[in-house]
Amino acid sequence: MRTARYMSTVPASSSPTPAFSSYPLRRVSWSGDEVPPGAWWARVPVVEQVLREGWEPAQLNVLVGENGAGKSTLVEAVAIAFGLGAEGGSTGSRHSTRPTEPGLAECLRLGRGAGAPRGGFFLRAETMHSFYTYLEDHPGGADPVFHEMSHGESFLSLVGDRMWRRGLYVLDEPESALSFTGCLALVAHLHHMVTTTDAQVVLATHSPILAALPGATVWEVGEWGMRECAWEDLDLVIHWRGFLDDPRRYLRHVLED
């Protein structure tokens, strides 16, 4: 794949991070490295857009979209490029069970704010069980025994313990473990963190509750790539509202023989 393909030809996001931002992540762009032949992720619209145009995240970013749209692929690559553990963890985490990362992180260049912290945490819902085992096998503090908690309790406990200071916090579908009230608790914690510590958050979710984080820039990911969207205009929100208003209207389409 020729490098000229990703030379910027389109203006960056309409809501960029300020030029003198002290946030850990000012810009995500193509590193200039050769894209491996046959790299499937290079054909994912959101990834292709970021490599071509770059992406300037806000302080609080929520990515929503259907399964397979590429939001988790992008946030995972950003986390790895920042130095966070690919399967979850803090900066420099060595936790790894079965490496499956596609190589996108090596093709990303991250622009950092002046004097920005290099610490952070990656909460990757699908690998948290093995991450808890890693913490038990490598004790380094006063962590509780996460395996003895419910799924949701362990997530919220981990968030409260690891996400409270300045840094970059990447979360991939944390709602998978959380109830309605658990999602509200996570919203409250993240809102408090970003307003009191100047932390930065990148969150991929299917939850309309998490997508409603106050002050968040919401990015809708799909076949068009990535675009800013108001919460009330998200397909995610429209479909949930329609289902809650009349479940039968949706269910008859999937239950018909």
Task: Kindly state the average pLDDT of the residues 97-115.
Answer: 80
Residue 241 has pLDDT above 90, yes or no: yes
Query: For residue 48, what are the contacts with CB-CB under 8 A and spacing of at least 6?
Result: 42, 225
Q: pLDDT (tens digit, 9 = 90+) per residue, 19-41? A: 446 899 999 999 999 998 889 99
Average pLDDT of every residue of the chain: 84
Q: Which candidate, 129, 132, 122, places its Cα nearest to that of 101?
A: 122
Q: pLDDT (tens digit, 9 = 90+) per residue, 212-240? A: 999 999 999 999 999 999 999 999 999 99
Note the pLDDT of residue 91: 81
Note the pLDDT of residue 13: 43
CB atoms within 10 A of CB 156: 18
Domains detected in the chain: 21-231 (3.40.50)
Instruction: Please give the single-letter amino acid code of residue 223.
Output: E
Q: Listing from the earlier edge strand, what are the strands of the sheet with 120-124? A: 89-90, 120-124, 168-172, 200-204, 60-64, 217-222, 225-228
Angle between helices 235-245 and 247-255 (to 10 degrees): 100
Instruction: Please give the single-letter amino acid code of residue 187.
Output: V
The C-alpha atoms of residue 152 and residue 77 are separated, in whole angstroms, by 25
Note the pLDDT of residue 85: 85
The model's pTM is 0.85
Please provide residue 90's backbone torsions phi and psi, each rounded to the nearest 5 degrees: -85, 180
Q: pLDDT (tens digit, 9 = 90+) per residue, 156-186? A: 888 888 788 999 999 999 998 899 999 999 9
CB atoms within 10 A of CB 151: 15
Note the pLDDT of residue 148: 62
Q: pLDDT (tens digit, 9 = 90+) per residue, 41-90? A: 999 999 999 999 999 999 999 999 999 999 999 999 999 999 998 878 77
The C-alpha atoms of residue 170 and residue 235 are separated, in whole angstroms, by 23
